[in-house]
Structure 1
Amino acid sequence: MEGTLELPALGRRMSLGTPYDCRSHQIISPGATLWDQEIISKQKEVSEKKSHKVTLVWSHTFNDKCKALEVDESLKASILADLVQPAGSAKFLSDQPPPEGTCRLSVHSKATSVIEKLPINQLGSCKILNSEVITEGKATHVVVGILYGSNTFFIFDKTCGEETKDDCLKSLIPFMNKFRSVPDKGEKSTTFDPKEVSDVECKVHSDLDVEDCHFDCKAASKLLREIPDMIKENAVPVKFFLYPLHKLDSRAARVCKAVSDGLLSQAQEFLEGLERCSARASKMAADPLCVDFPQFAEKLAFFKLMMSEYKTYFQRDFARVLPSIQGGSDGESVLKDMLQNATSGTPFKLAKLDAWLKSKCKELSAGKRKDI
């Protein structure tokens, strides 16, 4: 359908006919639909869409993880503003970087089973329920298609030891190729040389109901092999197809523009900087010396608390201005002021935070030398 927008589900659930606001990427009145359920049930078309694709993910920056999940810039902005909380396999987006001294490669399993669609041309004359979502400008789109299946990310971390990171990655590739070439069900299970997996850890983020996110390599291999069968009964929405409401009623709100790339990049860089600073503080707080010097640990704990509170404060303001920007109002000037204040006019300027952490690191090193 012309004008239809494809949107990754990111662990969220919607049904056919659900109104949706693409300015903030919020579900409008969860459970409510634009048309009567009986009409939707009669009109919907269901067809098979069986597929299973397995790919390698080499880079784990936030942008590359967004690319793997087909997250566009508009949806990314809502994630950064904490308007959308990814769940299921989409927790991959917020997965922490690998520990120092390790290399990382991931396998992305993308399986699909069926697709449901509403023939919008046959619904144009049907009575619209909850018409206030249109007349009051609450929604911009309506769900007219749902693709079911599952995404699963297998994250492998390998200890580098004396190897360089590049050599470590190269040594992981044969194992990854063997893992990806899982035999068909009924054939002999994939076996791994103990030396191949002795220093490899696996973590899983999946849309499927898996009991634990930490797997040994054999169990992870078994899960990958079973995914096509598992989604026959346990498939979840992996993609939504959204139709613009203004094509049904000219009074409906529209998405007029996206946040400029420069401003979105600045916001992302600032939020990622806060996360890195918090991670560095956590690493220092885990040092055994902090047990002997509780006042040092208290300073780091307070620092982390301030990081968390300011991040929440920034995201709250970002969430307020984002819908107005994408709805066509002049909100970018407000966002510019926010970023200017955050990056230069507050104690949370990243350069200042970095300098403070470096000073604490020196204090920690000095304490260790005295202890020796």
Structure 2
Amino acid sequence: MNIPESRKMAVHEQDLPNGLSDQTVITIRGQVKPKADKFSINLHKDNHIAFKFNPRFNEGGKQVIVRNSLIGNDWGSEERHLSYFPFKPGEPFEMKILCTHSEFRVKVDKKDLLSYRHRIREIDQIKKLTVQGDVLIRMLSIARCRKNDDDDDDIGEMLGRVFQHGIIHDVKTQLLRGRIPKDDDDFDIVEVAAMGRPFQLGMAYDLRKHTLIPGLTLWNHEKLQDKISISDQYDTKFNLHSSDKSEDETSNLKVNGSLKIAAKLGIVEFSGSGSYFTNNVKSDKRAKLTLGYHTTTKFKQLSMDHLTDVSYLSDLEETGATHVTVGILYGADAYFVFEKELKSDENKQEMEGVLTLKILNIPIFNVKLECEGSGEKKDSKTVKSDEIRCTFYGDFKLNTNPCTLEESLEVYKKLPDMLGENGEHAVPLQVWLYPLSKIPKAEHPSDCLIRELSDSLITRLSHAIDRLNLVEGKLIDLISDESTKSFVSFLNKLQDMKQKFSHYKADIMTKLAHLLPLIRGYKSEESDLEDLLKRHDDSVFNSTAMDQWLEYRKMELDVLRTFLRQLREVGVNLNEDLHILLSDADIKNVVSFTFTSLEEPDEFLSQLSDSDEEGKAAEIKTWLTRGIIKSMRKKTVLFKDLKKSNNSKSTKFTVSARSNPIISNPSATAGSEHHRLHPGACIMLYEDGSDEAICFCPPAKPVFSATYDINHSSITVRLSPACAATSKRTLEFKPRTKENWKKLFIHQDEVKLTELESDNEYEIRCSAMGILQDLPVTSDIISVRSSDNP
């Protein structure tokens, strides 16, 4: 027989004689049993269950928390999706359930877990709480916040009943003026990095969006000045680090998770030293080192009795404010970011070590710096000062920003004096915010409550944004490479991908920026964010296919850059204006080293749409193979030899990357056909101004034998048949002790060398010529001795 949910054996029952109301807080401290299967916490209205909270530790191998309501004898639809499961068998926990006029909000161990909208609206009729299952209850309290009308000096009071260690107590906890609790979770005092923003005591703040609300305060200026206390707070630190990770940058700036995400999404803009954090484009093409300076001067705070005598609270609530500024730590930060463009043979980590040593060897550093990052110690003389670029981010007013290493270090020495004799030029660094929902005169305190995202979700979101920036940085590196600009087709593909990726990134960032404040203000759920991140995870732009595409393009560019450098060494540059050379009547032949595979269609890129969130990616391909690289190397050597051996002014050598660069004959297909047959590269020959290209193939190296018929005055030479690319052959011979060769033009495969000296050693070689007769292919030299018998 099924036992009604309201009649099952309960671990604990708690009557709620007055029911629940807006801002009722239920606090439960307990411990999960070691071999727990499940437990539930239920809020009852008569025979109905308004809210069932049911953690299950092993449901089909998964941990879930089921939320539901029982109305009459019918259960509603279950809510199951959560970002994390907070309970562990055998371990204690603290759980808070906040009842508002529209929903229940659950927090476990001081972390927001979920919200559950009311399915039974009559919350004042919810008059019983029961706990069932595999859990032990140590303490349970039901409390609510209200104004104390009898004593304006008090902020308010918590009224309720507490069950602790089996005994029920009446409680009355007053919040006294002049005291800011720091460890009590009920107060939610929030510390936030100022990040160059102009905070003032009494200024309003929207913590959901991390934005200041200027122009309105809780008090007028005169009243505010009477309640400010100031104390000295001196601290100075230096650091030198080479990290390029946003987690390390935010650690240096003491930026909490939600503010970090808000900045990355562009919800909030930083200035001064805070701009250092928003410099989030990473690059593998630059070595980066940051010299940091941090100092604090004073701390200002408001006395808490101000909160009982507010003047403009209703005005602030209408602006969307959630907190008011009650404390500010003043000082200044500065960051000198030194960067050096890396050469193709330089290692980023090693070069950062070089930069570190170069700066540490400067005499002004007579104090020990905190150094982070790694890098092999190299001679600092290997990097020149004029190769180092500096960017300054700071809270100091400079006449001109430093750009070089020397200018930066001069500014660095003067920083302590720039704050003024009494620190009058210091700016807010850290601020403390007090929630408007805790102020007695608040009309809608629940509208000011803030939900903090779980640590796991913040980490996941931060990594997603970092990856977007990483991919964008790789595209920028490829596009900005000097070699890329030489290959128009290659550049066009990269720019097309950059445009599509930028559109996708802007779209997902806009959606995240819109959703996050709603979640923090309890207007949306964490599950909405998880759904959006899930769609991002499934996007082609965030796939291994995208990584493979970028990796292939980088490999191709590295190979192209290498071959282009070798060709430039013999004075040949890439020139897409081939039609100009062919129009020159003084030029008889044009020899072009042509990259033949750069215009191949890219199926992955062509099938990618700007908003492609999901879908199967086309196969990622590259024309680059070991065989093609080997073939390109041979053709590069051949082309360089052609260039070196040809001194004719009527022959021009060039490099091209287009299949059909000739405007006059756009229908020509010969070039395209050669490109298909010769992937990677081909030596194209244009004769007598013709725009019909011929792919130059050198003749095969001649092979011959001279041992067939030898006598005292003649030697018979037999040659292997010539290949199709051979148009002419010569046979040359001479006595080994002589220097001058005798040459014979041959038209058959057997030749008899006559009028030789008897008993003498001769050297013989054969040369084959193709279309370009200026570059013969010559055989190995063989030695043969004529006979001494007549």
TM-score interval (norm. to shorter): 0.7 to 0.9
Pick from 311, 320, 338 the counterpart of residue 128 of structure 1: 311
Alignment partners' CA distance in 2, 1:333 and 1:140: 23
Q: Determine helix, strand or coil for the equivalent of 1:305.
A: helix
Pick from 541, 544, 556 the counterpart of residue 348 of structure 1: 541
Q: CA deviation at 1:177?
A: 3.9
Q: Determine helix, strand or coil for the equivalent of 1:234.
A: coil
Contact 1:152 1:207 in 2 (8 A): yes
Q: CA deviation at 1:74?
A: 1.9
Pick from 97, 100, 103 the counterpart of residue 285 of structure 2: 100
Q: Determine helix, strand or coil for the equivalent of 1:208.
A: coil
Counterpart in the other structure of 2:408? 220
Question: In the alignment, residue 155 of structure 1 is paired with which amino acid?
Answer: V
Aligned 1:191-340 pairs, distance under 5 A: 195=381, 198-199=384-385, 200-211=388-399, 213-232=401-420, 233-249=424-440, 251-252=444-445, 253-340=447-534
Counterpart in the other structure of 1:189? none
Residue 194 to residue 324, structure 1, CA distance change in 2 (3 Å)? closer
Q: Determine helix, strand or coil for the equivalent of 1:71.
A: coil
Alignment partners' CA distance in 2, 1:219 and 1:45: 39
Q: Determine helix, strand or coil for the equivalent of 1:239.
A: strand
Sequence identity (%) = 27
Q: CA deviation at 1:170?
A: 4.6
Q: Determine helix, strand or coil for the equivalent of 1:281.
A: helix
Q: CA deviation at 1:20?
A: 0.9
Q: Which moved more, 1:154-163 or 1:106-115?
A: 154-163
Q: Determine helix, strand or coil for the equivalent of 2:433.
A: strand
Question: In the alignment, residue 351 of structure 1 is paired with which amino acid?
Answer: T
Q: Deviations over 1:9-40 (max 9, x none)?
A: 11111222111121221223x22212112212
Counterpart in the other structure of 1:41? 225
Question: In the alignment, residue 546 of structure 2 is paired with which amino acid?
Answer: L
Q: Which moved more, 1:212-221 or 1:334-343?
A: 212-221
Alignment partners' CA distance in 1, 2:380 and 2:357: 14
Alignment partners' CA distance in 1, 2:504 and 2:363: 42
Counterpart in the other structure of 2:245? 61
Q: CA deviation at 1:101?
A: 6.4
Contact 2:308 2:439 in 1 (8 A): no
Question: In the alignment, residue 228 of structure 1 is paired with which amino acid?
Answer: P
Residue 288 to residue 86, structure 1, CA distance change in 2 (3 Å)? same
Gaps of at least 5 residues in structure 1 are 185-192
Q: CA deviation at 1:362?
A: 5.5
Alignment partners' CA distance in 2, 1:362 and 1:322: 39
Alignment partners' CA distance in 2, 1:313 and 1:54: 39
Contact 1:17 1:143 in 2 (8 A): yes
Q: Deviations over 1:179-199 (max 9, x none)?
A: 596469xxxxxxxx9948725
Q: CA deviation at 1:159?
A: 7.2
Q: Determine helix, strand or coil for the equivalent of 2:541.
A: coil
Q: Which moved more, 1:347-356 or 1:141-150?
A: 347-356
Q: Determine helix, strand or coil for the equivalent of 1:52.
A: strand
Counterpart in the other structure of 1:190? none
Match status 1:89 vs 2:280: no
Counterpart in the other structure of 1:23? 208
Contact 2:286 2:339 in 1 (8 A): no
Aligned length: 359
Q: Determine helix, strand or coil for the equivalent of 1:302.
A: helix
Greater share of helix: 1
What TM-score do the two structures reach when normalised by structure 1? 0.83
Q: CA deviation at 1:63?
A: 0.5
Contact 2:357 2:380 in 1 (8 A): no
Q: CA deviation at 1:323?
A: 2.1
Counterpart in the other structure of 2:33? none
Q: Deviations over 1:231-264 (max 9, x none)?
A: 1253222222211222213533444432223332
Residue 335 to residue 297, structure 1, CA distance change in 2 (3 Å)? same
Residue 287 to residue 63, structure 1, CA distance change in 2 (3 Å)? closer
Residue 350 to residue 133, structure 1, CA distance change in 2 (3 Å)? farther
The Cα RMSD (Å) is 3.2
Q: Determine helix, strand or coil for the equivalent of 2:216.
A: coil
Q: Which has the higher contact order (CA 8 A, sep 6+)?
A: 1
Match status 1:117 vs 2:301: yes
Alignment partners' CA distance in 1, 2:314 and 2:548: 55
Q: CA deviation at 1:367?
A: 5.7
Contact 1:273 1:350 in 2 (8 A): no
Residue 279 to residue 50, structure 1, CA distance change in 2 (3 Å)? same
Contact 2:216 2:316 in 1 (8 A): no
Q: CA deviation at 1:290?
A: 4.3
Q: CA deviation at 1:43?
A: 2.7
Contact 2:284 2:348 in 1 (8 A): no
Residue 180 to residue 22, structure 1, CA distance change in 2 (3 Å)? farther
Residue 308 to residue 145, structure 1, CA distance change in 2 (3 Å)? same
Alignment partners' CA distance in 2, 1:111 and 1:358: 43
Alignment partners' CA distance in 2, 1:59 and 1:182: 21
Contact 2:240 2:290 in 1 (8 A): yes
Alignment partners' CA distance in 1, 2:303 and 2:508: 42
Counterpart in the other structure of 1:188? none
Q: CA deviation at 1:124?
A: 2.4
Match status 1:74 vs 2:265: no
Counterpart in the other structure of 1:140? 322
Q: Determine helix, strand or coil for the equivalent of 1:32.
A: strand
Q: CA deviation at 1:312?
A: 2.1
Aligned 1:163-182 pairs, distance under 5 A: 167-177=350-360, 182=365
Residue 66 to residue 287, structure 1, CA distance change in 2 (3 Å)? closer
Greater share of strand: 2
Q: Determine helix, strand or coil for the equivalent of 2:418.
A: helix
Contact 1:270 1:350 in 2 (8 A): no
Q: CA deviation at 1:317?
A: 1.4
Q: CA deviation at 1:363?
A: 5.5
Alignment partners' CA distance in 2, 1:77 and 1:296: 35
Q: Determine helix, strand or coil for the equivalent of 2:219.
A: coil
Contact 1:111 1:150 in 2 (8 A): yes
Q: Which moved more, 1:173-182 or 1:208-217?
A: 173-182
Residue 298 to residue 31, structure 1, CA distance change in 2 (3 Å)? farther
Alignment partners' CA distance in 2, 1:177 and 1:18: 42
Q: CA deviation at 1:228?
A: 1.9
Q: CA deviation at 1:45?
A: 2.9
Counterpart in the other structure of 1:357? 550
Contact 1:113 1:231 in 2 (8 A): no
Contact 1:183 1:225 in 2 (8 A): no
Q: Deviations over 1:286-312 (max 9, x none)?
A: 344544543433332232223222222
Q: Which moved more, 1:5-14 or 1:291-300?
A: 291-300
Q: Which moved more, 1:172-181 or 1:2-11?
A: 172-181
Q: Which moved more, 1:322-331 or 1:56-65?
A: 322-331
Alignment partners' CA distance in 1, 2:192 and 2:362: 30
Alignment partners' CA distance in 2, 1:350 and 1:120: 52
